[in-house]
A and B are shown apart, each in its own frame.
Chain A
C-alpha cells in the first residue's frame, strides 16, 4: 500500500500558543487512521491544515501525491470533510443540501440527484430527505454531514469528532457507517477524543498531546503491553484506606488507590475472593469487585501520563 497522506514536520502557531509542534505521520491508502488526543491537543488544527482551511507555518504536506502548499485546491478534489460541527444549510432540505454539496464538486444535476437519493437511502434518511436540515436531530445532522462529506465519492475522508455530542444509538449507527465506508475502500482519517471509539474502529492510531505526536502504531501493537494483564477494581462504602494491600499482596501492582476504591493489576490471574476477604477483615465495607479488561485507555495513560483530562469514554458519559 502507498501513503496517500504524508505530513512531515508540520507546524502551526497561534500567537504564543504552539498548536501543532512539528508532527510527522503518513496514512496508507485504504487505511482507517485514528488521531487521538485530549481536547486542545491540536487535532482540529491538524485536520484544518490537511484540508486546506489552515496554512502550516512549516513542514510539508502531500495528499494523493499533491503538494498541498502549492496546489491546495487540487488536493481538495480528493478529500471529503466532516467537520466537528454539522455545518450544512438549515434552510435547505436534506436532499437539497446533498445536491448543493455535490454541485460544489462540479457534479451534473442527474448525477448529483441520483447520488443524493442513494446516500439518503443508505444512511436511513430517505424519509427525512424532504425535511429542512434545521429540523433534524443532532444524530441525523451528523449522519447527513457524513453523507455530504462523501457525496462526490472521495478516496479520502476526514472525520473530525464524528460522534461527539450525539446520543448512544446515533453514535453506534455512525460508527457502523464509518466501518462500512472503510470496508468499501475509503481512506479515513478520524480524530476523536473517545478512546474506545478509536480502539474499535482504527487500524493505526497516533496519540497527539500538546501539539506533539507521542506514539504512532497499529492498534494491535499498542494493545500488546496490556493484553496479558489482569486488572481488578474494588470499591467500598466506608472511610477506609487500602494502603495495606501492597504489603499483603506483593505480587499485585496497585495501579490506583483512591478514597473508596482500589485498582490492582498483575501478569497472573487475580484471586478476587481472597482480596475482598482481606479488605473486609481490615474493615472495608466492600460494595463491588469487578475484573477490568485492559484497554487502549490504559495504554494512553501509560504513554502520556494523562488521566481523563479532556478524554472521553464513549458510552455512559451522557452522550
Chain B
C-alpha cells in the first residue's frame, strides 16, 4: 500500500510538472495535426484515404510524443540529481520506473487519440474495431514509453537522448509500415521490419481500421508484450548497473 502511495504521487507530479505544461499539450495536438494534414495533402486523394493513413498517423504520434518526453524528463532529472531522491525512497526500482513511465504512457495514449478523433469527424469509421484499436494504441504507448526509458537510462545528456531516440525512431518510420506496406520494401530490408516492435503495433491498428492486418492479433499483442518486458527489464538492469554505482 505504501509503495502505491509513492507510485501515485510520482505519477501525479510528473503529469503536473511535465505532461500538462502548455508546450507539451500543444506538442501533443500540433504534432499529430501537422502529420495528418501533411499526409492528407500529399496523398492527393479524397477523404476516402483517411482510413489508410490513420494507423500510421496514430502510431507515429504515440511513438514521437512518448519517446521524446520520457527520454528528456528522466535524463533531465538525473542531471539535476532529483532522480537521486527517488532512488533513495524505500520503494522497489521496478515500481519507481513504472511510476515514471506511467505518465508518458498516458501522454502517448492522449497523443494517439488525436488522429482517430479527427478522422472520425471527417470520414466514415463505422467499420473500426474500437476495442482492438484502443488496446493496440495502449500497447504502442507502453512499448514506446519503455523504448524512451531504454534510451534515457543509456545516456548522460538530454541531447544524447534525442540523438539516440532518433536512431531508433526514424528507421522505424521507414521500416515498420507506417505509411506504406512492408511488402513494398526491398526484400533484403523486410526481415529488419519484423525485428522492430512498431511493425506489430501498426499492423494491429491497420487490422482494427480496415481488417488488413498481416499478422494475427494475438501474436502481435504477444510480441509487443515481449518487447515491453524486455525493454523494461533491460532498462532496470542498466539503472542498477550504471546509476547505483
Contact = CB atoms under 8 A, between A and B. Distances in A.
A90 B76 CA distance: 12
A150 interface: no
Question: Counting chain B CB atoms within 10 Å of each CB, which of A51, A106, A148 scores highest?
Answer: A106
A88 B85 contact: yes
A108 B5 contact: yes
A106 B17 contact: no
A104 B87 contact: no
A54 B90 contact: no
B245 to A, nearest CB: 5
Interface string B123-148: 00000000000000000000000000
Interface string A84-118: 01011111100000001101111110000000000
B2 A106 contact: yes
A148 B84 CA distance: 13
A74 interface: yes
A101 B80 CA distance: 16
Interface string B145-173: 00000000000000000000000000000
B81 A85 contact: yes
Nearest to A104: B89
Nearest to B18: A91
Contacts of B244: 52-55
Contacts, number: 70
A294 interface: no
B121 interface: no
- Secondary structure at chain B's binding surface: helix, strand, loop or mixed? helix
Given A74-B90, A92-B13, A107 B5 contact: yes
Given A53-B88, A92-B13, A100-B13, A106 B82 contact: no
Nearest to B93: A73
Given A83-B81, A105-B6, A89 B89 contact: no
Contacts of B238: none
A148 B89 CA distance: 12
B5 A81 contact: no
A244 to B, nearest CB: 56
A23 to B, nearest CB: 17
Given A53-B245, A87-B82, A87-B85, A104 B17 contact: no
A103 B88 contact: no
A77 interface: yes
A261 interface: no
Contacts of A107: 5
B2 A88 contact: no
Contacts of B81: 83, 85, 87
B9 interface: yes
A105 B10 CA distance: 12
A229 interface: no
A26 interface: no
Contacts of A76: 88-90
B1 A106 contact: yes
Nearest to A99: B9
Interface in B1-21: 1-3, 5-6, 8-10, 13, 17
Interface of B: 1-3, 5-6, 8-10, 13, 17, 80-82, 84-92, 244-245
Interface of A: 14, 48, 51-55, 73-74, 76-77, 81, 83, 85, 87-92, 100-101, 103-108, 148
